[in-house]
Amino acid sequence: MNKPDGLAIIPPGQAEAFVESLPIEKFHGIGQVTARKMHELGIHAGLDLKARTEAELVQCFGKAGRFYYQIARAQDDRPVNPNRIRKSVGAETSFDPDLDDLGTMHQALGDIAHRVYQRLKKHQTRGRTLTLKIKFADYQQITRSCTVLEWIERENQISGLAQDLLDRVSLNGQKIRLLGIAISNLDHFASPLHHEQLVLDLGRALTVLGTEN
């Protein structure tokens, strides 16, 4: 809710009504294909999903049907692990209207790269793999990735790699609905020192050394 940086507060007393009114596409674990199948079955919101029995959902969606049955009732008994290792850092933006100009796409990637850079700094990490996510106007989605030897930790690196990947995609006139950038293969031992590049004034350093000697 309220992506990418907004906060939505749903008190326990409002959870059931919130879930019932939520469009089926907004449920975690329900992608485009599953949502289309649910629409065919007349399931468009949480209330419609809640009206189906567990047996019906399992018959239509296999083991995932049990999960859908529970989330329609705001039930999730999985343990919370606040200390799990982060696997990637990223950001994405949806566009309305869809983008059809390459220059505008590159500009948008620059903005997304800035957000990814800020999040890398926040989490005090860096990575070696950059993945570009593209969703077209027809909701077809593709990803393109590159892995480099040096750490990806600067904004111009992120922007440059992402734009290079975009240039390698054959758009064939297709409009773009969403662009995203993610950094993975993270350095889990990174410290703030990794993100501060110290510039050494060699002439001044030699002068100081000469004085001390």
Looking at every residue in the chain, the average pLDDT score rounds to 85
Angle between helices 32-40 and 54-61 (to 10 degrees): 120
Tens-digit pLDDT profile for residues 62-73: 888 999 999 898
Name beta bridge partners: 179.
93, 134
Tens-digit pLDDT profile for residues 91-139: 999 898 999 999 999 999 999 999 999 999 998 999 999 999 999 988 8
In 34-189, where do the E strands start and end? 88-99, 127-136, 141-152, 176-186
Asked if residues 162 and 130 have their Cβ atoms less than 8 Å apart, the reply is: yes
Q: What is the pLDDT of residue 4?
A: 59
Q: Which of 165, 196, 195 is nearest to 181 (CA)?
A: 165
Tokens for 184, please give them: 């993975």
